[in-house]
Homo-oligomer: A and B are copies of this chain.
Amino acid sequence: MSSQISSTTTGASSQPRYAAIKAHICAQIESGEWPAHFRVPSENQLAQDFNVSRMTARRALSELTDEGVLMRSQGLGTFVAEPVPAGSLLEVRNIADEVAARGHSYGNRILKLEQTTASTEVAVALGLAEGAAVYHSIIVHLDNGLPIQFEERYTNPTLVPEYLQQDFSAATPNEYLTRVAPLTEADTTVEAIGADGAVAEALEIDSGSACLQIWRRTMSRAGTVSFARLVHPGNRYRLGAQLRF
């Protein structure tokens, strides 16, 4: 009895107790048990259910609220928020982190990793001469095994000479590049396209179905590092932004 007293400390499971409560709530939501606008148990109720203090239960609810999973309002209660936008227009985030933040498992498939010569378009984007050597990679990113991003990337070999030797199953190109060449600037363009043959096949969707296509040119102090085309299936991805004036 009184596990409450016998383990005032961090607990046996090596994981904070509020994390267990967060996990439980996320599980209910993801399983569909708790739909949007569902009223989540109160702080006191959770405290009792999990045998923790109200402040600990509160922390779980507060963090999930900060993460956009829940909505709270004083006097009313805590509710499941509308499904959250996955990405952000305002920051350049690592897709693996985004997947992990949703509590899903990340994976990828490397379709191409080679050196080639720059086409006119690529040369202009990277600030190189036409026909110059560039690195070319195509990677498909998976969320719980489901393809959510087709990444085709051209990288400037003069700035990142060891790009081709990287193990991108361990760290995404984004992750590697931001470490090697910290980015100082980025141009982003978003448009909607119908998936063409290669992309449709890689993303396992019907040819012609709507996709969000993001063009992004990332620049470091020394020059333009990389030029990427990111394609997301329209129904598996959203971009969100909160603006304040």
Contacts and interface: CB of A to CB of B under 8 A. Distances in A.
Interface stretch (A9-17, A147-155, A158-166, A207-215): A207-215
Interface in A165-217: 182-194, 208-213
Interface size class of A (residues with CB under 8 A): 35 or more
A188 B87 contact: no
Number of copies: 2
B190 A239 contact: yes
Interface stretch (A88-96, A100-108, A109-117, A136-144): A88-96
Contacts of A37: 124
A190 B190 contact: yes
A131 interface: no
Nearest to A186: B243
A209 B194 CA distance: 7
A237 interface: yes
B189 A240 contact: yes
Given A66-B66, A243-B92, A234 B191 contact: yes
Interface string A207-245: 011111100000000000000000011110111111111
A83 to B, nearest CB: 10
A85 interface: yes
B185 A245 contact: yes
Given A187-B242, A242-B187, A192 B234 contact: yes
Count chain B CB atoms within 10 A of each CB in A182, A191, A233, A241 and give the residue with the most. A191
A239 B89 CA distance: 10
Interface of A: 37, 66, 82, 85, 87-92, 124, 182-194, 208-213, 232-235, 237-245
7 contacts: A89-B239, A182-B245, A185-B245, A186-B243, A188-B240, A189-B241, A191-B237
